[in-house]
């Protein structure tokens, strides 16, 4: 499958890894929008939130556990941060492998859209 994040997960394309376990991979965004900008992705290819089902949704709660852990380790937990996923064209999704942006380290814009 010609998927950028699958290639990052399997090491075909380099990334700055932050965390990895059996089901999740996390790495620094190549074009950070905040002082801390990490992408947390399931190792299984799920294209977007549109593809989340009862069969594959366990990894989503695990991703939030990882987000909480990384936020603490990266020093942004106390002051606050945002975890966001874009789904589809209207949200500006550019990579169609489900990913959660972990953004922090500064006061983020209040506007969500
Ligand atoms: P989205 O627009 O929500 O689909 O987010 C895709 C994100 O992937 C963007 O923030 C990009 O900067 C990021 N990105 C694209 N290519 C790479 C890469 N090779 N390594 C790390 N992040 C990337
Ligand atoms: Zn993929």
- What is the mean pLDDT of each successive set of 10 residues along the chain, which is 113 residues long? 96 98 98 98 98 98 98 98 98 98 97 90
As for ligand 1, residues whose beta carbon falls within 6 Å of it are 4, 13, 15, 29-31, 39, 86, 92-95
Active site residues: 99
Q: CA 32, CA 21: separation in Å to the nearest integer?
A: 23
Q: How many CA atoms lie within 13 A of 20 on its CB side?
A: 11
Q: CA 86, CA 22: separation in Å to the nearest integer?
A: 24
CA of 96 to the centre of ligand 2 (A): 7
Tell me what pLDDT residue 35 has: 98
Ligand 1 atom showing the smallest separation from residue 95 Cα: 4
Pocket test for ligand 1, best of 15, 25, 30 (most atoms within 8 A of CB): 30
Pocket test for ligand 1, best of 95, 98, 99 (most atoms within 8 A of CB): 95
Tell me what pLDDT residue 1 has: 77
Tell me what pLDDT residue 77 has: 98
As beta bridge partners, residue 26 has 19, 40
If you ran DSSP here, which 8-state letter would residue 34 be given?
S
Tell me what pLDDT residue 81 has: 98
Q: CA 93, CA 73: separation in Å to the nearest integer?
A: 27
């Amino acid at each position: 499958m010609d998927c950028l994040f699958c290639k990052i997960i399997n090491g075909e394309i380099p990334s700055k890894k932050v965390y990895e376990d059996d089901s999740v991979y996390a790495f620094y965004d190549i074009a950070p929008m905040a002082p801390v900008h990490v992408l947390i992705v399931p190792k299984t290819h799920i294209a977007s939130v549109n593809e989340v089902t009862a069969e594959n949704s366990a990894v989503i709660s695990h991703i939030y556990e990882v987000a909480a852990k990384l936020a603490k380790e990266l020093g942004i937990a106390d002051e606050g941060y945002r975890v966001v996923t874009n789904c589809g064209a209207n949200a500006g999704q550019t990579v169609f492998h489900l990913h959660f942006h972990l953004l922090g380290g500064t006061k983020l814009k209040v506007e969500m859209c």
